[in-house]
């Protein structure tokens, strides 16, 4: 059995996060010590690790509440639907980051070429560069 501070240190979260997870019903202390300290067992440790893993994957605490509230074990269709949604969201973010990366590369190349000639980038050239990248994003 671990007290809240030990559990927090083991998983790498603040004790306040564990208390917050308790308030949300995501985690519960197994029992309390004679001194009134919360005591957590290996099951609570695993639950907390699962919460942290879900958070790293982009699941909200509300998502986690929905999963943990299922009394008959997790509904496989629900888990797959939630996971597919997170995959789609990550693909959208990756595409946006790739576009931003391409914009930065194009700007760097334009600046290098312009500065190598001893010129400054003109406002209309910058506007054209920005405008061409906005069009590729569908804006």
Domain boundaries, the chain: 2-68, 76-136
> Is residue 30 pLDDT above 60, yes or no?
yes
How far apart, in whole angstroms, are the C-alpha atoms of residue 18 and residue 34? 20
pLDDT tens digit sequence for 31-89: 888 988 889 999 999 999 999 999 999 899 998 888 887 767 788 888 899 899 999 99
- pLDDT score for 135: 54
**In which residue are the tokens 């009394």 written?**
71
- pLDDT tens-place string over residues 66-78: 888 776 778 888 8
Distance between CA 24 and CA 68 in Å, rounded?
11
Q: What percent of the chain has pLDDT over 90?
A: 50
Beta bridge partners of residue 32, listed in sequence order: 38
Query: Is pLDDT at 15 greater than 70 in this prediction?
Result: yes
On the CB side of 87, how many CA atoms lie within 13 Å of its CA?
6
Confidence check: pLDDT of 137 > 80? no
What average pLDDT does range 84-101 have in this prediction? Answer: 95
User: Residue 130 pLDDT > 90, yes or no?
Assistant: no
Averaged confidence pLDDT in the chain: 87
Q: Which CATH class, in words, describes the domain spanning 2-68?
A: mainly alpha
Q: Give yes or no for residue 139 having a pLDDT over 50.
A: no
pTM summary value = 0.68
């Amino acid at each position: 059995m671990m007290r809240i501070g030990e559990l927090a240190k083991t998983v790498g979260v603040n004790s306040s996060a564990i208390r917050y997870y308790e308030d949300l019903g995501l985690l519960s202390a197994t029992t309390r010590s004679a001194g009134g300290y919360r005591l957590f067992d290996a099951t609570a440790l695993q639950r907390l690790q699962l919460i942290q893993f879900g958070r790293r994957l982009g699941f909200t605490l509300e998502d986690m509440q929905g999963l943990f509230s299922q009394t008959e074990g997790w509904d496989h269709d629900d888990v797959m639907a939630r996971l597919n949604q997170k995959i789609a969201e990550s693909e959208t973010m990756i595409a946006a980051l790739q576009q931003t990366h391409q914009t930065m590369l194009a700007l760097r190349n334009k600046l290098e070429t312009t500065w190598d000639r001893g010129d400054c980038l003109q406002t209309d050239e910058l506007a054209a560069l920005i405008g061409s990248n906005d069009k590729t994003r569908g804006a």
